[in-house]
Protein backbone atom coordinates (compact mmCIF):
# COMPACT_ATOMS: atom_id res chain seq x y z
CA UNK A 1 0.00 0.00 0.00
CA UNK A 2 1.37 3.44 -0.94
CA UNK A 3 1.87 6.28 1.52
CA UNK A 4 -1.05 8.11 -0.11
CA UNK A 5 -3.36 5.12 0.31
CA UNK A 6 -2.32 4.65 3.92
CA UNK A 7 -2.92 8.33 4.67
CA UNK A 8 -6.36 8.20 3.04
CA UNK A 9 -7.18 5.13 5.11
CA UNK A 10 -6.14 6.96 8.27
CA UNK A 11 -8.12 10.07 7.35
CA UNK A 12 -11.20 7.96 6.51
CA UNK A 13 -10.96 6.26 9.89
CA UNK A 14 -10.92 9.69 11.56
CA UNK A 15 -13.17 11.62 9.17
CA UNK A 16 -14.05 14.98 10.71
CA UNK A 17 -11.15 14.81 13.16
CA UNK A 18 -7.89 16.73 12.98
CA UNK A 19 -4.71 14.66 12.80
CA UNK A 20 -1.36 16.39 13.06
CA UNK A 21 1.23 15.85 10.37
CA UNK A 22 3.56 14.60 13.07
CA UNK A 23 1.03 12.02 14.24
CA UNK A 24 0.41 10.79 10.70
CA UNK A 25 4.11 10.61 9.88
CA UNK A 26 4.79 8.70 13.09
CA UNK A 27 1.92 6.30 12.47
CA UNK A 28 3.06 5.53 8.93
CA UNK A 29 6.81 5.75 9.46
CA UNK A 30 7.38 8.46 6.85
CA UNK A 31 8.46 12.09 6.77
CA UNK A 32 6.11 15.03 7.24
CA UNK A 33 7.12 16.15 3.74
CA UNK A 34 5.82 12.84 2.38
CA UNK A 35 2.56 13.42 4.26
CA UNK A 36 2.19 16.90 2.76
CA UNK A 37 2.91 15.58 -0.74
CA UNK A 38 0.33 12.79 -0.38
CA UNK A 39 -2.33 15.18 0.96
CA UNK A 40 -1.68 17.54 -1.95
CA UNK A 41 -2.21 14.66 -4.38
CA UNK A 42 -5.45 13.61 -2.65
CA UNK A 43 -6.78 17.16 -2.87
CA UNK A 44 -6.07 17.20 -6.58
CA UNK A 45 -8.18 14.03 -6.88
CA UNK A 46 -11.13 15.82 -5.28
CA UNK A 47 -10.85 14.93 -1.59
CA UNK A 48 -11.76 17.82 0.71
CA UNK A 49 -8.92 17.91 3.24
CA UNK A 50 -8.65 20.90 5.55
CA UNK A 51 -5.31 21.97 6.91
CA UNK A 52 -4.07 24.82 9.03
CA UNK A 53 -0.66 25.85 10.27
CA UNK A 54 0.18 23.81 13.36
CA UNK A 55 -3.28 22.23 13.28
CA UNK A 56 -2.86 19.20 11.07
CA UNK A 57 -5.16 17.63 8.48
CA UNK A 58 -8.85 16.74 8.49
CA UNK A 59 -10.94 14.90 5.90
CA UNK A 60 -14.20 16.82 5.60
CA UNK A 61 -17.26 14.88 6.75
CA UNK A 62 -19.01 15.95 3.55
CA UNK A 63 -16.40 14.22 1.40
CA UNK A 64 -18.23 11.46 -0.42
CA UNK A 65 -15.79 9.98 -2.89
CA UNK A 66 -15.44 6.29 -3.57
CA UNK A 67 -12.20 4.89 -2.27
CA UNK A 68 -10.91 1.41 -1.56
CA UNK A 69 -9.75 2.68 1.82
CA UNK A 70 -13.19 4.06 2.69
CA UNK A 71 -14.98 0.90 1.56
CA UNK A 72 -12.65 -1.38 3.49
CA UNK A 73 -13.67 0.26 6.76
CA UNK A 74 -17.15 -1.24 6.44
CA UNK A 75 -16.36 -4.67 5.02
CA UNK A 76 -16.97 -7.79 7.06
CA UNK A 77 -13.93 -9.23 5.25
CA UNK A 78 -11.57 -6.23 4.89
CA UNK A 79 -8.80 -8.42 3.46
CA UNK A 80 -10.66 -8.64 0.13
CA UNK A 81 -8.84 -7.35 -2.93
CA UNK A 82 -10.43 -4.12 -4.21
CA UNK A 83 -9.76 -2.48 -7.57
CA UNK A 84 -11.16 1.01 -8.11
CA UNK A 85 -10.94 2.66 -11.51
CA UNK A 86 -11.73 6.22 -12.44
CA UNK A 87 -12.76 4.91 -15.85
CA UNK A 88 -12.96 1.38 -17.23
CA UNK A 89 -14.70 -0.28 -20.15
CA UNK A 90 -16.61 -2.78 -18.01
CA UNK A 91 -16.17 -3.71 -14.35
CA UNK A 92 -17.29 -7.26 -15.21
CA UNK A 93 -14.54 -7.56 -17.79
CA UNK A 94 -11.97 -6.12 -15.38
CA UNK A 95 -13.10 -8.61 -12.72
CA UNK A 96 -12.73 -11.50 -15.17
CA UNK A 97 -9.19 -10.38 -15.97
CA UNK A 98 -8.39 -10.19 -12.25
CA UNK A 99 -9.62 -13.77 -11.78
CA UNK A 100 -7.73 -15.15 -14.75
CA UNK A 101 -4.50 -13.43 -13.68
CA UNK A 102 -4.87 -14.75 -10.13
CA UNK A 103 -5.06 -11.24 -8.63
CA UNK A 104 -8.50 -11.76 -7.11
CA UNK A 105 -10.49 -14.56 -5.52
CA UNK A 106 -13.80 -15.07 -3.75
CA UNK A 107 -15.17 -11.88 -2.20
CA UNK A 108 -12.93 -9.51 -4.15
CA UNK A 109 -14.52 -6.82 -6.31
CA UNK A 110 -14.00 -4.12 -8.90
CA UNK A 111 -15.57 -0.64 -8.96
CA UNK A 112 -15.48 2.28 -11.36
CA UNK A 113 -16.60 5.89 -11.26
CA UNK A 114 -17.47 5.56 -14.93
CA UNK A 115 -17.87 2.76 -17.49
CA UNK A 116 -17.37 3.37 -21.19
CA UNK A 117 -18.67 -0.04 -22.26
CA UNK A 118 -20.97 -1.12 -19.45
CA UNK A 119 -23.02 -4.16 -20.37
CA UNK A 120 -26.49 -5.40 -19.55
CA UNK A 121 -28.32 -8.61 -20.38
CA UNK A 122 -28.92 -9.77 -23.95
CA UNK A 123 -25.94 -7.78 -25.24
CA UNK A 124 -27.38 -4.39 -24.32
CA UNK A 125 -25.21 -1.51 -23.17
CA UNK A 126 -25.55 -0.10 -19.65
CA UNK A 127 -25.39 3.70 -19.46
CA UNK A 128 -22.75 4.49 -16.80
CA UNK A 129 -21.99 8.23 -16.52
CA UNK A 130 -19.28 9.45 -14.15
CA UNK A 131 -20.24 9.71 -10.47
CA UNK A 132 -23.98 9.37 -11.22
CA UNK A 133 -24.07 5.72 -10.25
CA UNK A 134 -22.42 2.91 -8.37
CA UNK A 135 -20.85 0.36 -10.71
CA UNK A 136 -19.29 -2.73 -9.18
CA UNK A 137 -18.57 -6.36 -10.00
CA UNK A 138 -18.16 -8.93 -7.25
CA UNK A 139 -16.22 -12.18 -7.65
CA UNK A 140 -17.80 -15.30 -6.20
CA UNK A 141 -16.48 -18.83 -6.01
CA UNK A 142 -19.66 -20.88 -5.51
CA UNK A 143 -19.67 -24.54 -4.68
CA UNK A 144 -22.85 -25.16 -6.66
CA UNK A 145 -23.17 -26.40 -10.25
CA UNK A 146 -24.15 -24.41 -13.30
CA UNK A 147 -27.86 -25.21 -12.95
CA UNK A 148 -28.04 -23.15 -9.74
CA UNK A 149 -26.58 -20.05 -11.39
CA UNK A 150 -30.01 -18.33 -11.61
CA UNK A 151 -30.06 -18.14 -7.82
CA UNK A 152 -26.86 -16.08 -7.90
CA UNK A 153 -28.82 -13.38 -9.69
CA UNK A 154 -31.76 -13.54 -7.28
CA UNK A 155 -29.28 -13.35 -4.38
CA UNK A 156 -27.70 -10.26 -5.93
CA UNK A 157 -31.09 -8.57 -6.30
CA UNK A 158 -31.83 -9.39 -2.65
CA UNK A 159 -28.45 -7.98 -1.59
CA UNK A 160 -29.08 -4.69 -3.39
CA UNK A 161 -32.59 -4.46 -1.92
CA UNK A 162 -31.34 -5.06 1.63
CA UNK A 163 -28.32 -2.75 1.31
CA UNK A 164 -30.29 0.16 -0.17
CA UNK A 165 -32.97 -0.28 2.48
CA UNK A 166 -30.39 -0.23 5.29
CA UNK A 167 -28.09 2.53 4.02
CA UNK A 168 -30.56 4.79 2.17
CA UNK A 169 -33.89 3.96 3.82
CA UNK A 170 -35.39 3.29 0.36
CA UNK A 171 -37.59 0.25 -0.36
CA UNK A 172 -37.03 -0.96 -3.92
CA UNK A 173 -39.19 -3.30 -5.97
CA UNK A 174 -37.68 -6.30 -7.76
CA UNK A 175 -38.57 -7.42 -11.28
CA UNK A 176 -37.80 -10.99 -12.22
CA UNK A 177 -35.09 -11.81 -12.85
CA UNK A 178 -32.48 -9.14 -12.35
CA UNK A 179 -33.79 -5.55 -12.17
CA UNK A 180 -34.78 -3.28 -9.30
CA UNK A 181 -37.31 -0.49 -9.60
CA UNK A 182 -38.38 2.62 -7.75
CA UNK A 183 -41.70 4.31 -8.54
CA UNK A 184 -42.06 2.28 -11.73
CA UNK A 185 -38.62 3.10 -13.12
CA UNK A 186 -35.53 0.94 -13.32
CA UNK A 187 -32.78 2.05 -10.94
CA UNK A 188 -30.55 -1.04 -10.89
CA UNK A 189 -29.51 -3.75 -13.31
CA UNK A 190 -27.61 -6.94 -12.57
CA UNK A 191 -25.53 -9.02 -14.96
CA UNK A 192 -24.27 -12.40 -13.72
CA UNK A 193 -21.58 -14.09 -15.79
CA UNK A 194 -19.88 -17.41 -15.15
CA UNK A 195 -16.35 -18.66 -15.66
CA UNK A 196 -16.86 -22.40 -16.07
CA UNK A 197 -14.85 -25.59 -15.94
CA UNK A 198 -14.96 -26.91 -19.52
CA UNK A 199 -14.66 -30.54 -18.43
CA UNK A 200 -17.29 -30.66 -15.70
CA UNK A 201 -19.46 -27.72 -16.77
CA UNK A 202 -19.41 -26.36 -13.22
CA UNK A 203 -19.02 -22.73 -12.24
CA UNK A 204 -15.46 -22.01 -11.10
CA UNK A 205 -16.13 -18.32 -10.58
CA UNK A 206 -19.14 -16.09 -11.04
CA UNK A 207 -18.93 -12.37 -11.72
CA UNK A 208 -21.94 -10.44 -10.43
CA UNK A 209 -22.08 -7.01 -12.04
CA UNK A 210 -24.31 -4.42 -10.36
CA UNK A 211 -25.13 -0.98 -11.70
CA UNK A 212 -27.18 1.42 -9.56
CA UNK A 213 -28.35 4.86 -10.69
CA UNK A 214 -27.80 7.21 -7.75
CA UNK A 215 -29.19 10.24 -9.55
CA UNK A 216 -30.25 11.00 -13.10
CA UNK A 217 -28.71 13.81 -15.10
CA UNK A 218 -31.44 14.66 -17.60
CA UNK A 219 -29.00 16.29 -20.00
CA UNK A 220 -26.85 13.15 -20.30
CA UNK A 221 -29.44 10.37 -20.36
CA UNK A 222 -29.98 8.92 -23.86
CA UNK A 223 -33.41 9.71 -25.33
CA UNK A 224 -34.48 6.05 -25.36
CA UNK A 225 -33.88 5.77 -21.60
CA UNK A 226 -35.52 8.98 -20.38
CA UNK A 227 -38.91 7.36 -19.80
CA UNK A 228 -37.46 4.10 -18.49
CA UNK A 229 -34.50 4.87 -16.25
CA UNK A 230 -34.93 6.09 -12.71
CA UNK A 231 -32.59 6.78 -9.80
CA UNK A 232 -32.46 6.50 -6.04
CA UNK A 233 -32.38 10.29 -5.67
CA UNK A 234 -33.85 13.20 -7.59
CA UNK A 235 -30.63 15.12 -8.08
CA UNK A 236 -26.89 15.18 -7.42
CA UNK A 237 -27.22 17.17 -4.21
CA UNK A 238 -29.58 14.65 -2.61
CA UNK A 239 -27.47 11.75 -3.87
CA UNK A 240 -24.54 13.29 -2.05
CA UNK A 241 -26.24 12.47 1.24
CA UNK A 242 -25.58 8.73 0.86
CA UNK A 243 -22.20 7.29 1.83
CA UNK A 244 -21.15 5.52 -1.36
CA UNK A 245 -18.38 3.63 0.38
CA UNK A 246 -20.82 2.29 2.96
CA UNK A 247 -23.38 1.36 0.29
CA UNK A 248 -20.81 -0.52 -1.80
CA UNK A 249 -19.48 -2.37 1.25
CA UNK A 250 -22.96 -3.28 2.45
CA UNK A 251 -23.90 -4.74 -0.95
CA UNK A 252 -20.77 -6.91 -0.87
CA UNK A 253 -21.36 -7.94 2.75
CA UNK A 254 -24.97 -8.97 2.13
CA UNK A 255 -24.21 -10.75 -1.15
CA UNK A 256 -21.49 -12.87 0.46
CA UNK A 257 -23.92 -13.77 3.22
CA UNK A 258 -26.78 -14.52 0.81
CA UNK A 259 -24.61 -16.83 -1.30
CA UNK A 260 -23.28 -18.96 1.56
CA UNK A 261 -26.26 -21.19 0.83
CA UNK A 262 -27.99 -20.60 -2.48
CA UNK A 263 -31.74 -20.38 -2.02
CA UNK A 264 -34.56 -18.07 -2.95
CA UNK A 265 -35.02 -15.38 -0.29
CA UNK A 266 -38.43 -14.35 0.96
CA UNK A 267 -37.52 -10.70 0.22
CA UNK A 268 -37.00 -11.55 -3.44
CA UNK A 269 -40.47 -13.09 -3.60
CA UNK A 270 -42.27 -10.47 -1.47
CA UNK A 271 -40.83 -7.45 -3.31
CA UNK A 272 -41.27 -8.94 -6.80
CA UNK A 273 -43.67 -7.06 -9.06
CA UNK A 274 -44.08 -9.82 -11.67
CA UNK A 275 -46.18 -12.64 -10.12
CA UNK A 276 -49.91 -12.14 -10.58
CA UNK A 277 -49.51 -9.89 -13.60
CA UNK A 278 -49.97 -10.17 -17.31
CA UNK A 279 -46.56 -10.09 -18.98
CA UNK A 280 -44.88 -10.06 -22.35
CA UNK A 281 -42.08 -12.59 -22.82
CA UNK A 282 -39.37 -11.77 -25.33
CA UNK A 283 -37.17 -14.67 -26.41
CA UNK A 284 -34.95 -13.76 -29.32
CA UNK A 285 -37.19 -12.43 -32.09
CA UNK A 286 -40.31 -13.99 -30.57
CA UNK A 287 -42.73 -12.11 -28.31
CA UNK A 288 -45.74 -13.60 -26.56
CA UNK A 289 -48.22 -12.71 -23.85
CA UNK A 290 -48.66 -14.81 -20.72
CA UNK A 291 -49.60 -14.55 -17.06
CA UNK A 292 -46.96 -14.80 -14.37
CA UNK A 293 -48.07 -17.16 -11.63
CA UNK A 294 -45.22 -17.53 -9.15
CA UNK A 295 -41.47 -17.70 -8.63
CA UNK A 296 -40.22 -21.23 -8.03
CA UNK A 297 -37.66 -22.16 -5.35
CA UNK A 298 -34.95 -22.50 -8.01
CA UNK A 299 -35.58 -18.95 -9.25
CA UNK A 300 -37.51 -19.87 -12.38
CA UNK A 301 -40.76 -18.12 -13.23
CA UNK A 302 -43.93 -20.20 -13.54
CA UNK A 303 -46.23 -18.74 -16.21
CA UNK A 304 -49.57 -19.59 -17.76
CA UNK A 305 -49.42 -19.39 -21.54
CA UNK A 306 -52.20 -17.97 -23.71
CA UNK A 307 -53.53 -21.48 -24.39
CA UNK A 308 -53.87 -22.22 -20.67
CA UNK A 309 -50.80 -24.45 -20.40
CA UNK A 310 -48.09 -23.77 -17.83
CA UNK A 311 -44.38 -23.43 -18.47
CA UNK A 312 -41.21 -22.48 -16.61
CA UNK A 313 -38.95 -19.59 -17.59
CA UNK A 314 -35.29 -19.59 -16.63
CA UNK A 315 -34.28 -16.87 -19.08
CA UNK A 316 -35.83 -14.41 -21.50
CA UNK A 317 -36.86 -10.77 -21.31
CA UNK A 318 -40.05 -10.08 -19.37
CA UNK A 319 -42.02 -6.85 -19.40
CA UNK A 320 -44.99 -6.21 -17.16
CA UNK A 321 -48.28 -5.10 -18.73
CA UNK A 322 -49.66 -1.84 -17.41
CA UNK A 323 -52.94 -3.28 -16.15
CA UNK A 324 -53.23 -3.95 -12.41
CA UNK A 325 -52.80 -7.47 -11.00
CA UNK A 326 -56.02 -9.45 -10.55
What lies within 8 Å, CB to CB, of 102 at 6+ separation is none
Note the pLDDT of residue 199: 63
pLDDT digits (tens, 9 = 90+) for 225-242: 666 788 999 888 888 888
Q: What is the pLDDT of residue 324?
A: 47
pLDDT score recorded for residue 195: 79
Residues of the chain with pLDDT under 50: 146, 324-326
The phi and psi torsions of 230 (rounded to 5 degrees) equal -125, -170
- CA separation for the pair 177, 295 (Å, rounded): 10
pLDDT for residue 226: 62
Tell me how far apart the alpha carbons of residues 223 and 11 are, in angstroms, rounded to a whole number: 41
106 vs 40: CA distance, rounded Å: 35
Q: What is the pLDDT of residue 297?
A: 94
Q: Please report the pLDDT score of residue 257 as a whole number.
A: 95
How much is the pLDDT for 121? Answer: 62
pLDDT of residue 322: 55
Q: What is the pLDDT of residue 326?
A: 43
Q: Which helix (H) or strand (E) holds 110?
A: strand 109-112
Q: How far apart are CA 214 and CA 113, in angstroms?
A: 12
State residue 282's pLDDT score: 86
Alpha helices in the chain (DSSP H): 3-13, 21-28, 32-44, 68-72, 91-101, 149-168, 236-239, 244-258, 266-270
Amino acid sequence: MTVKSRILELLEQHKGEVLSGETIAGELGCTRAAVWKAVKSLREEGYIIHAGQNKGYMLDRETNRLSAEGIRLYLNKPEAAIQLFHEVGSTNQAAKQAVVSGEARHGSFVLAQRQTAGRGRRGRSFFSPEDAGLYLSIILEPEETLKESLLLTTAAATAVYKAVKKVCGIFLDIKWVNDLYLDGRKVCGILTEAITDFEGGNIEFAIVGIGINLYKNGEEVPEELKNVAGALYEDKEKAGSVDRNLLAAEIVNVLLEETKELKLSHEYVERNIVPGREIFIVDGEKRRRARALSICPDGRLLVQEADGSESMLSYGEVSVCLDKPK
